[in-house]
Structure 1
């Protein structure tokens, strides 16, 4: 194996060291930059068929390609980080992000757009790699707040991408969006090179290529069934779900028998890890529900009696506070985890999201109401996302933190995907006539909010079932 890339060092002696502060800031910025890529394209989606000379179904691949690539890259990057170095894989991921942004910025047809978006998606492992690097390198008294901040960057970037993209798209060429994302990625790359040290914790060994291919294929089948199944029809959806089940079953059989698996399923089956990952799916589902409902309520015509008739820029500005709140509560999440344990923090966060949805069902008639509900959900999600890394890292060996955190991040993304699919089905069936078209009804929006609240409540119940002794130990790390 080649020698590690030269990098600075971060002492574990003082939580107030400027090196530790710089590392947290750089990794959080990198996480936000990667998360921005997920939402940056949303304001462009309605115009993509005309911009790229394709059909609406074809244009949707600009979103789907990123989702699929991220789902494949996240667990693989985490395992490779454990084996060969988290900093090294961070740099590889950011190079892919920059390359994808440049390809997309130069695109004028569907094929290069999809290729560029897929390359951007391959950077999806940055957040779990950053969390694992913090555990290995930060002073002990900064690990909790650092990982909570890094974990929340997933939501922050997603929330800030909407207003940024809408503002730029309204005033200049859409290509500028991706040139800006390339510049942001290049800055992250330079900062990681300068301020993030290489982790001394490595497992070495061989890459489980069969496991990587099996997991990638299973996830692609599953996510295609979720994202494309409704458009392709019942037979295709059933076939894709069946292919996913068979592929993932064979993959699991292989992982349990190989000496150096991509994902240690025995470790993942431990109650603290399993329950935290299941809670992550439920909370990821819940987090995405409000992000799907509020923009549509804001843009629905006023003439319906419940729509607010706002522009995409206003939508972005309404949704942005959620991300800012998530980042703001990260230190509070870390303090509560130190005092009461991350299990309690996860429960508090899930309960706050549940309350937000309960209030959000009747409160959709004014912009300030939507901002309030988004902020309440932001508090809950920020608290919960900050607690998850502590629960995961305490339950797995230090040598597996990269792969374990990557799996947890993947679970959140799967929750997002399930939310998108189920919300789409609900809103497609609960509609009203408007002119010559049909649009989602107020009842449809309220049903989605109720489902989101139930998902948050399920996350609370799963968190409550996490063994207390493990949770207490996690709060002390």
Structure 2
């Protein structure tokens, strides 16, 4: 018995609360400012690189850990922050990351020694999680037409802040005590915390689970064992036992870490998601982009500040050196809108490859362009353009290939890959510059400074890395041509709305996804609807007459809900099945007034009138529960909740209508049932089943309390005429249908027993002499029945 409900149509009503998430114009600017603050922190000490060994009373290779420790900590913190953000709230973890920026800055400001400085810089590194968390908040809050440029700006903030931070840091270091750099960083962090509290909303998207502490420790140990020998290998010897041992240990640790992650229910890094071609290749490319981005930040400040007496130094002050590199940040900011447009029109793969070509060409030209200040400016600008374009493409590629609930962790993993690239770059370039030196005599005596060969070798390595990244990016799934909108005749079902944008999947069946809907919206041509492998909302590629949003129930998004688009005459124009946290996308054939209808099992259908324009329109559908189901608790005779019990509902014809299993508290919940009479049966191993008749009505679910009694045992002794036990007597148990359900052969004691009897009526037959027969009725009043037999010849 089923019931057909008519959708509730309210053409004049506004969209439900939350259907369009409105945020102020300062939202993107504040998140980008937080990203810039973090990147300023990362490059804070670069103007001091030549002076750090003296300032911290240590060697050049040890001083390089002031930079490397921050990048390493950032590499570890990004997936941790991303996972915690998905679990407990992205805004909350954003504030935690900014607090680490403040604490780490103050730690550095209060010391002049290497170890506390490295500790403080490591704490600062935890703030790198701000960037993937910011991207994920944008993904959850912004409408699709604003998302592309916002993500490009946020992703590029790592380079923008670094470029602008260099001259500012240099100015402070040149005109004040160098500790003031860290007091300033702490102040910026406090400002960021205040702005986030005032403006940035919390995302409602959650992925519950347990935090993977083992994964976090394993990743930390593996990366530390990898970067330590890279940094100190030149001092220890590349073939020394210590260097080779650490490289081997890092390999073993990371392989074991991957093995554990694959078998963890809620891993820190979902390696299965990472294994998708689009995600895997994007992350591999991200390592190489991060590697190729960093050498210029280590080479040019030193080249510019070295005295002209060296024969190749450009003799600039700290401040001027920072200003000459600042065009890199300006270029990154300027190309953010351009890169977003390339993503939307040509696809993020083209954008990523374009950026890598520019990066490689810039470093190739830079090998021969180190002789004057104007050449440094040109090379810095070119690199800023390339990195800005490449950085904006990577989050788009990632979020279009993973479910919405995993975007925080996925973006964090992508930032982790960039951080690993930058950490490795810092270590490798530091080794190159530390071992390709020239002795230069100053007023303080002779000192070793990097020579031109070291600078050019660093650029050559970066150029080769960009070329390798380009080669990997070529194998990313290509974006396919948009499908044409159907224009069939008006008779029958009318014109069909075909899906535009990225295809549902690439050649390997991976979702091409997007940010604002599931992208199912199949044309109504009789073809089956497409949901994809892991459908995700369409990202910045959405354009034209599109309706998108989520179908929501009381507990959040409703996967499997159906959304239909009809015209004023009632003709169906498109239909989508929500498969990712309730997201949907429907394409209208042209602008106009239409009606969208949302429906899901167990919920009242809902229809809304939607005016469709030339730009995407967001509408969420909030469905109310239909009710009429069953809920209750199953307990034992002692009143103890019974988990794992099977609850079955059958209709008057004996057909199974619904079922459920009790949870840890013995509770069960059977969703929508049409009003009527049903038989509710509850069963569990070791207990006698319980059955009762129930009647459901429209409205609140009917509550049922069930009690299961333990299964019964029948036992006894078979004796002969003289009263002695009879061995080898066969005792059979028959049910009401006459079927043998158990047999027992007595031993010398003559005893038998049948346990776990859940029926009510049985027949017991003892044979060996002429058989003796008796019937037994078991009930709920006793868990054990004793039946003895006396076998005689009579």
Tell me whether the two structures share a fold, i.e. TM-score over 0.5: yes
Preserved contact between residue 355 and residue 389 of structure 2 (Cα < 8 Å): yes
Match of 1:448 in 2: 458
Preserved contact between residue 11 and residue 139 of structure 1 (Cα < 8 Å): no
Preserved contact between residue 431 and residue 440 of structure 1 (Cα < 8 Å): yes
List runs of 5+ in structure 1 lacking aligned partners. 1-9
CA deviation after TM superposition for structure 1 residue 200, in Å: 1.1
Match of 2:126 in 1: 122
Match of 1:357 in 2: 363
CA deviation after TM superposition for structure 1 residue 464, in Å: 1.8
- Superposition pairs for residues 37-436 of structure 1, below 5 Å? 37-52=41-56, 59-234=63-238, 235-428=241-434, 430-431=436-437, 434=440
CA deviation after TM superposition for structure 1 residue 331, in Å: 1.2
Structure 1 residues 53 and 295, CA gap change in structure 2 (3 angstroms): closer
CA deviation after TM superposition for structure 1 residue 59, in Å: 4.5
Q: Distance in 1 between matches of 2:184 and 2:43?
A: 14
From the two aligned structures, give the one with the greater helix fraction: 1
CA deviations 1:93-118 (Å, max 9, x no partner) are 11111122222223344444333222
Q: Distance in 1 between matches of 2:194 and 2:265?
A: 37
Q: Which moved more, 1:445-454 or 1:271-280?
A: 445-454
CA deviation after TM superposition for structure 1 residue 48, in Å: 4.3
Specify which structure has the bigger relative contact order, considering alpha-carbon pairs within 8 angstroms and separated by 6 or more residues: 1
Structure 1 residues 433 and 122, CA gap change in structure 2 (3 angstroms): closer
Over the aligned positions, Cα root-mean-square deviation in angstroms equals 2.4
CA deviations 1:186-242 (Å, max 9, x no partner) are 110011111111111111111111111111211222222223333344332222211
CA deviation after TM superposition for structure 1 residue 56, in Å: 5.2
From the two aligned structures, give the one with the greater strand fraction: 2
CA deviation after TM superposition for structure 1 residue 155, in Å: 0.7
CA deviation after TM superposition for structure 1 residue 60, in Å: 4.4
Q: Which moved more, 1:179-188 or 1:55-64?
A: 55-64
Q: Distance in 1 between matches of 2:183 and 2:301?
A: 26
Q: Distance in 2 between matches of 1:259 and 1:186?
A: 37
Q: Secondary structure at the match of 1:124?
A: helix
Matched, 1:476 2:482: no
Q: Which moved more, 1:42-51 or 1:379-388?
A: 42-51
Q: Which moved more, 1:377-386 or 1:231-240?
A: 231-240
Structure 1 residues 12 and 157, CA gap change in structure 2 (3 angstroms): farther
Q: Which moved more, 1:24-33 or 1:218-227?
A: 218-227
Q: Secondary structure at the match of 2:369?
A: coil
CA deviation after TM superposition for structure 1 residue 405, in Å: 0.9
CA deviations 1:356-402 (Å, max 9, x no partner) are 12322222211111101110110110011001000011111111111
Match of 2:475 in 1: 465
Q: Distance in 2 between matches of 1:111 and 1:430?
A: 26
Preserved contact between residue 41 and residue 124 of structure 2 (Cα < 8 Å): yes
Preserved contact between residue 12 and residue 138 of structure 1 (Cα < 8 Å): no
Preserved contact between residue 273 and residue 392 of structure 1 (Cα < 8 Å): yes
Match of 2:564 in 1: none
